[in-house]
Amino acid sequence: MPFIRPKYHPQTFGKIIRFVFWLMKELFPIFSMAFCATKTVIEMNKTSGIIYKILSRCKMSLEINTELKHFLLELPHNEVELSAYNIVTVDNKILLTIFSSVVSNLIILIQFQLDGLKRAQ
């Protein structure tokens, strides 16, 4: 069954609708995971600014002040990123990677099928 159909079939519209809903159902967890991971990393990177505001605006005991300053000094040295088994970083960039892989594989598939149609004629 070729990927590119030269004629219109009445059942094609229903299949396309089912395929679109299936695709949305499969991609929703990936999109939500990527967006939540990106939002979490952005919020984590705001921590140093929040602690600096607390130190400058609030009066507190010397012990808490010292601990916050030590924590503030260690924050830049700890790069925060969410990853899947330390293989792939999970953020919005992964969506572009997935999309580009799918598109390039589809282009290769279409080229092979067009070549097969030319040979059949």
Q: What is the pLDDT of residues 82-106, one digit of tens each?
A: 888 888 888 888 888 888 998 999 8
What string of H, E and C letters represents the secondary structure of 97-108? Answer: HHHHHHHHHHHH
The reported pLDDT for the residue numbered 112 is 85
Which pLDDT belongs to residue 7? 59
Predicted pLDDT of residue 4: 57
pLDDT digits (tens, 9 = 90+) for 60-74: 889 988 998 998 888
89 to 34, 96, 98: CA distances (angstroms): 10, 13, 13
pLDDT in tens, 9-59: 666 777 888 888 988 898 899 889 889 988 988 888 888 888 888 888 888
CB 90 within 8 A of CB 73: no
Q: Encoding tokens for residue 43?
A: 């919020």
* HSE-up (13 A, CA, CB side) for residue 3: 12
- For 105, the token pair is 């594989």
Contact 82, 37 (CB under 8 A): yes
Element (H, E) at 35: helix 12-45
Q: 107 or 78, which is more confident?
A: 107
